[in-house]
Amino acid sequence: MNKYVMITGATSGIGKASAQLFAENGLNLILTGRREKALSDLKCELQRKDGIDIFPLCFDIRESEKCRSAIENIVHEGIVPELLINNAGGAKGLAPIHEGSLEHWETMIDTNIKGLLYISRFISAEMVKRGGGHIINVCSTAGHETYPNGNVYCATKHAVDALTKSMRLDLYRHGIKVSQVSPAHVEETEFALNRFDGDSEKAKIYEDFNPLKASDVARAIFFIYSQPAHVNIQDILLMGTQQAGSNFIDRSGRKYD
């Protein structure tokens, strides 16, 4: 099969779990990330196991010209992904608005909004030329509700939700589906560690309940992708059984281990 899936932020968490699942199903992959060794290791793992084509692209999606150059390179090779998974993103800090770090804010805005825009701009243009494609954005329950001290992160994920809807209106006449998946707490990712600037003690936020796993979200993404051509699942909102909302978590123990 000559089908390619492009996954941003593929070296860990939801991105990596998605790469593994799509590889198991025989899809060729274009994997992006900032860590060259992690990309190389993932390429070796997936190619050895599944014998598929893997194109690792090491760059920072916050830099528009690097996004443009990376995409021009794959297009030059005759490759346009039929599916783009805009997964790269994350949270930095957990502080009230009057104490927030400007550096944290800029990182979230540059990655979660601008990075998604840069990649989508260049890939969607190629999809329009080809007359079809599918874009799946990784949003969050934080794109549908807010919580204390989540101010800017929630704002960026609300932007992802709005962009998903707007992109769909721009692209549906070109045969391009636009969808998103909106998970709540997810373990097997670097989300908490990044949010707390590498503080592993503060990052221990999943010890008293069962959140989602990265593989759960990957399966939801694959489910969206695997629908017939006439079906577009616009959003999947998912949480662990012990979570009913951002501020409603049963922390009485991990009941499903």
DSSP 133-187: EEEEEE--GGGT---TT-HHHHHHHHHHHHHHHHHHHHHGGGTEEEEEEEE-SEE
Rounded Cα–Cα distance for residues 212 and 171 (Å): 31
**Residues taking part in catalysis:** 153
257 belongs to a structural domain: no
User: Is residue 226, in this structure, part of any structural domain at all?
Assistant: yes
Question: 254 in a domain, yes or no?
Answer: no
Overall number of domains in the chain = 1
pLDDT band at residue 47, thresholds of 50, 70 and 90? confident
pLDDT at 128 over 60: yes
Look up the pTM and report it: 0.96
Strands 212-213 and 4-7 turn out to be: unpaired
At residue 2 the predicted structure's pLDDT band, cuts being 50, 70 and 90, is confident
Average pLDDT over residues 204-222: 97
What does the H/E/C string look like for 12-68? CHHHHHHHHHHHHCCCEEEEEECCHHHHHHHHHHHHHHHCCCEEEEECCCCCHHHHH
Rounded mean pLDDT of 49-62? 89
Within a domain: residue 255? no
- Arithmetic mean of pLDDT, 220-238: 98
Question: What mean pLDDT, rounded, does the chain reach?
Answer: 95
Residue 235 lies in a domain: yes
Q: What is the pLDDT of residue 208?
A: 96
- 177-189 mean pLDDT: 97
Q: Would 256 be classed as within a structural domain?
A: no
> What domain range includes position 230?
4-249
The 176-183 sheet, strands edge to edge: 54-58, 28-33, 4-7, 83-86, 133-138, 176-183, 235-238
**DSSP one-letter code for 252:** S
Q: Is 6 helix (H, G, I), strand (E, B) or coil?
A: strand
The verdict on residue 15 lying in a domain is yes
The CATH code of the domain that includes 220 is 3.40.50.720
pLDDT at residue 174 greater than cutoff 90: yes
The answer as to whether 43 is a domain residue is yes
Check whether 1 has a pLDDT greater than 80.
Answer: no
pLDDT for res 49? 66
Chain-centroid distance of CA 12 in Å reads 10
Res 31: pLDDT: 97
